Amino acid sequence: MASSPRIVAVLVAYNRRDLLQDALDALADQDLPLDGICVVDNASTDDSSDVARAHRSEPELVRLERNTGGAGGFAAGMAHAAEVMDADLVWLMDDDTIPTPSALSALVEACDRYPGTVDVAGSRVVWVDGRDHPMNTPRRRPGATAAERAAAATVGAVPVRSSSFVSMLVRVDAVRAHGLPVADYFIWNDDFEYSCRLLKHGVGLHVTASVVEHRTKVFGATDADPGERFYYEVRNKLWMLTRSSALTSLERVLYAGASVRRWARTFARSSARGVLLRAGARGLRDGVVSAPRPTRLVLDDLPVSEAVRGLELGSRT
């Protein structure tokens, strides 16, 4: 990475003002100071925007007039950080992500010491009791060579094929090359698709010395009973398998099989199977007959539209 890169944290917030306060406190207390913080308020109905405006870290606030989900929020924040705040690196997280004081410095140190260009570096994500959070487990890079594994090990990392928006450091040059997250995903699979897109040919690291706490309400993976949100899991996974350039042909087959098995487990464990069947059927229909719109069109009516267009139209894929 470039010497003394300009690092901007992008934090997407929605109706969790107390968690937002804690997350901003943690960002302000990093032992490697940030060059800026961008808070994207996804049309919160509480006083999240006021919390951001009053915080001692003086973040730049991007207030969206409608909820664009995590996918739209991260796309908006990344565009603002890159085009307005001149970021070289963007550090992505939700408002329920609480980084430990050395989380950022550990990511940057690993990237600096790695013998090559790192496009994505992710943190070890734990729950409130210190256990590794199953919701944010990265996929190790299949077929990584012994040399690649050894190079990652020398900086305390493992090579990965995907990463989570719960603490993901991304090189802005990679964003300019590959575009923004697909805002139409709204929630679920947006970080999987995006990180796989960046890492199809790029280098991704999971840095175990970088630790963040993910303060979800319960401890569990994404195949816990999702209710109506199962629609997004099915639709977005089908979009990724059939519309995205993020995967190789073999990966499409493997991930399709893994998805079917995950859906079967979700259904078996559900206490509201009728809800899942209806939501899944709608997701199957829309995943087959529709395609996600370009992110610049999804966010065209929002204050970040110019920055989003600048990044998307300048991307190569």
Q: What is the mean pLDDT of residues 184-209?
A: 97
Angstrom distance (rounded) from CA 269 to CA 88: 44
Residue 15 zone, left/alpha/beta (φ > 0; ψ -120 to 50; rest): left
Range with the poorest average pLDDT among 52-61, 214-223, 259-268, 285-294: 214-223
Burial of 280 (0-12, 13-18, 19+ CB in 10 A): buried
CATH class of the domain comprising 7-219+290-314: alpha beta
Task: Provide the residue ranges of all domains of the chain, joining segments of one domain with +.
Answer: 7-219+290-314
> Could you report the per-residue pLDDT of 134-184, keeping only the tens digit for each?
888 899 999 999 999 999 999 999 999 999 999 999 999 999 999 999 999
Q: What is the pLDDT of residues 111-131, one digit of tens each?
A: 999 999 999 999 999 999 999
> What pLDDT, in 10s, does the model give residues 83-102?
999 999 999 999 999 999 99
